[in-house]
Amino acid sequence: MSASADLQEAIVELLGMPGALRVNVPLVSRRTKELAGDIEAAAANQGLCIFVMPPLPTSALQGNPFVLFDQAEVRVRIVEQPAMNQTGADAYDLVDDVASALHWQPKAEGTKLGAILAHPLQLAERPCEMVEDPQARIIEVIFEAVYELQPGG
């Protein structure tokens, strides 16, 4: 897998840990042209689910013989269909949970996320964006990551 996919999967794993979220909702790694994740979320959908989007590098350290993304956006997309939501929580509740679960991770060395990141994951300066329409509420919690591409990775 790529560094981006490894980072994405480590975040899904972290959000899936007991106690990370106040309710059990589907967690899906969202990848371009991979509809299986969307289908899985729709099948298990209780009106609330989380998509972890692929990291998007926005800046690379210059003048080095290796690739280090000194800034990359990691977006965790919370999707709620309020009319169908029977979970006992809403998208706004999960914003708090996602922010608390991921900000300044890894908090312990030797974790899967710690092996990928060169600096702890942190909330972006503008930590959330929202889109709402009559059927759905989508809130993205945005983090900044720093990671290096490993040879052959």
**Could you write out the three-class secondary structure of 73-140?**
EEEEEEEECCCCCCCCCCHHHHHHHHHHHHCCCCCCCCCHHHHHEEEEEEEEEEEEEEEECCCCEEEE
Structure tokens at 66: 């290796």
Task: Give residue 42's pLDDT.
Answer: 56
| Within a domain: 20 | yes
Q: What is the mean pLDDT of residues 29-36?
A: 67
| Within a domain: 136 | yes
| Within a domain: 153 | no
Average pLDDT of the residues of the chain: 88
Q: What CATH number has the domain bearing residue 96?
A: 3.30.2000.30
| Within a domain: 74 | yes
Q: Which amino acid is at 73?
A: E
| Residue 40 reports pLDDT greater than 80 | no
Helix, strand or coil, per DSSP, at residue 57: strand
Structure tokens at 6: 């490894």
| Within a domain: 35 | yes
Which candidate, 81, 82, 83, 21, places its Cα nearest to that of 52? 21
pLDDT in tens, 44-59: 567 899 999 999 999 9
| Within a domain: 101 | yes
**Cα-Cα-Cα-Cα dihedral sign, residues 144, 147, 152, 153:** negative
| Within a domain: 9 | yes
Q: What is the mean pLDDT of residues 114-119?
A: 92
Q: What is the dihedral of CA 147, 148, 151, 153, to 10 degrees?
A: 20
Structure tokens at 98: 């996602």
CA distance 118 to 128: 23
Is the full-model pTM beyond 0.85?
yes
Give how many domains the chain has, as a whole number: 1
Question: Domain of 83?
Answer: 3-148
| Within a domain: 32 | yes
75: CB partners within 8 A, 6+ apart: 52, 53, 56, 140, 141, 142, 143
Query: pLDDT grade, residue 135 (50/70/90)?
Result: confident
Query: pLDDT grade, residue 37 (50/70/90)?
Result: low
